[in-house]
């Protein structure tokens, strides 16, 4: 009788794991060479008031900036293509960039096959740093997941480069 109860318990656990895996989203991120017209654009800014620092990403009009070639090279612009290549939706999607701050995305839900284009303006950070781009989301079963992508922001006197590692 104990073996029957154990078999039922283990079968229940393995079925739950299999069901959880069957709805798992998976976010892919790629760096693009050119911006897409439908992209959401964000610029990083930092304010120092006395002994307090405040930093955030705010939406900006990329159309105005793209005509200024000097700013385009100097500021460090990243064109990112984000896509859900999994078999389940990514719910409550959040994007954090370590060493910077969270980017409040206008879309927090990606169905399988959905994609989003983002332009990030690092605003001439005056320093080079390694960073991680984190995507946090939930499955339809309420399980929380985090995916981490490594990136480098390399600052030079006349330009800033963004490199994404897959």
> By residue range, what is the domain housing residue 86?
24-165
Please give the residue that has the higher pLDDT: either 5 or 142. 142
Label each residue of 20-71 as H, E or C: HHCCCCCEEEEEECCCCCCCEEEEEEEEEECCEEEEEEEECCHHHHCCCHHH
Q: Is residue 156 part of a domain?
A: yes
Interstrand relation of 40-49 and 115-121 (parallel, antiparallel or unpaired): parallel
Contact between 41 and 119 under an 8 Å Cβ cutoff? The reply is yes
Structure tokens at 63: 């159309």
Report the domain count for the chain. 1
Q: Is residue 69 part of a domain?
A: yes
Reported confidence tier of residue 165, pLDDT bands at 50, 70, 90: confident
Q: Is residue 14 part of a domain?
A: no
Residue 32: pLDDT over 60: yes
Please give the residue that has the higher pLDDT: either 136 or 24. 136
Q: Is residue 30 part of a domain?
A: yes
């Amino acid at each position: 009788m104990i073996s029957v109860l154990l078999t039922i318990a283990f079968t229940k656990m393995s079925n739950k794991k299999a069901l959880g895996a069957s709805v798992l989203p998976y976010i892919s991120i790629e760096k693009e060479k050119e911006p897409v017209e439908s992209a959401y654009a964000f610029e990083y800014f930092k304010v120092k008031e006395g002994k307090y620092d405040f930093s955030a990403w705010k939406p900006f009009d990329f159309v105005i900036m793209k005509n200024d070639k000097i700013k385009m090279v100097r500021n460090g612009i990243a064109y990112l293509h984000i896509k859900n290549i999994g078999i389940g939706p990514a719910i409550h999607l959040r994007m954090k960039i370590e060493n910077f701050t969270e980017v409040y995305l206008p879309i927090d839900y990606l169905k399988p096959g959905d994609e989003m284009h983002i332009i990030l303006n690092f605003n001439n950070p005056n320093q080079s740093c390694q960073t991680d781009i984190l995507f946090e989301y939930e499955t339809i079963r309420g399980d929380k997941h985090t995916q981490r992508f490594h990136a480098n922001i390399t600052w030079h006197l006349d330009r800033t480069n963004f490199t994404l590692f897959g």
